[in-house]
Amino acid sequence: MLRNLICLVLIVLMPAALLASDSAGAMLRGQGPVWLNGKLLPGSSAIFPGDLIQTQPESVGTVEASGSSVIVMPNSLVKFAGTSVSLEHGVVSVGTSQGMVARTGELVATPSSSKWTEFELSDANGVIQVVARKGELRVDCGKNTVSLSEGEQVSPDDSGKCRKRRRSGGAPMAAHGSIYTDPYVQGGVLAGGGVIICLLLCSSSKPFVSQWKP
């Protein structure tokens, strides 16, 4: 009976684990109180396109997708869209080799190549700004499009045109996540381990020995 119960639980959990590793989804982890779709995040959770992430002044959220990492800085509101993120207010730092796009209002920031690219998008107190940390970006401000190289930043003016300049200094981006944080790897390990456990328990010919009825 115990074997059957464990197998049933694994059968129910495996599809959920595989679903979380789908390319359209990602994993969200929080440091401090982070809200996901209006509910307090219980440490970590799978997220999918359309989900809203909100951090508090003392918290940070980290989104790990396949080939991309997004850090939601304190006091920010972000909508996850699978291959892009939409910033409502606050700051997001993006690292990607999969062309992850970041937008706020009319402004859209897009990596120029499939090489690992790091950039930061902020929308605070009515001021929008994009900073290129590594690699090159194309930034569309609505009225025109400019290219950003490492160390450059851009802000739209009142007319909606991009105005860029060099940036002096600034905090570095977080390092690229390891393979162990990739949702594909996590889902594969969980699914594979569950199948092995289930096979061992369900196919075992040795009966379960109760300590109460030897």
166 falls in which pLDDT band (50, 70, 90)?
confident
Is 201 part of any domain? no
Is 41 part of any domain? yes
Is 206 part of any domain? no
Domain containing residue 56:
26-175
Look at the chain and report how many structural domains it folds into: 1
User: Residue 181: what pLDDT?
Assistant: 41
DSSP assignment letter at 143: S
User: CA distances (Å), 153 to each of 18, 32, 70, 158, in order?
Assistant: 39, 30, 19, 17
Cα–Cα distance measured from residue 24 to residue 87, given in angstroms and rounded to the nearest whole number: 18
| Token pair for 71 | 């850090």
User: Residue 212: what pLDDT?
Assistant: 41
| Residue 144, pLDDT above cutoff 70 | yes
- Report whether 34 contacts 54 (CB < 8 A): yes
User: Residue 197: what pLDDT?
Assistant: 45
Tens digits of residue pLDDT in 190-204: 455 554 444 444 554
Please state which of the ranges 118-122, 131-135, 183-187 shows the lowest mean pLDDT.
183-187
Tens digits of residue pLDDT in 50-99: 999 999 999 999 999 999 999 999 999 999 999 999 999 999 999 999 99
User: Residue 213: what pLDDT?
Assistant: 43
Average pLDDT over residues 203-207: 47
Is 49 part of any domain? yes
CB burial string 139-155: b at 16+ within 10 A, e below: bbbeeeebebeeebbbb
- Report whether 76 contacts 111 (CB < 8 A): no
Is 165 part of any domain? yes
Closest CA relative to residue 128, chosen from 141, 115, 117, 113 = 141
**Average pLDDT score over the chain:** 79
SS3 content of the chain, % helix, strand, coil (to 5): 20, 40, 40
- Report the CATH number at residue 34: 2.60.120.1440
Is 98 part of any domain? yes
Tens digits of residue pLDDT in 23-36: 457 999 999 999 99
7 falls in which pLDDT band (50, 70, 90)?
low
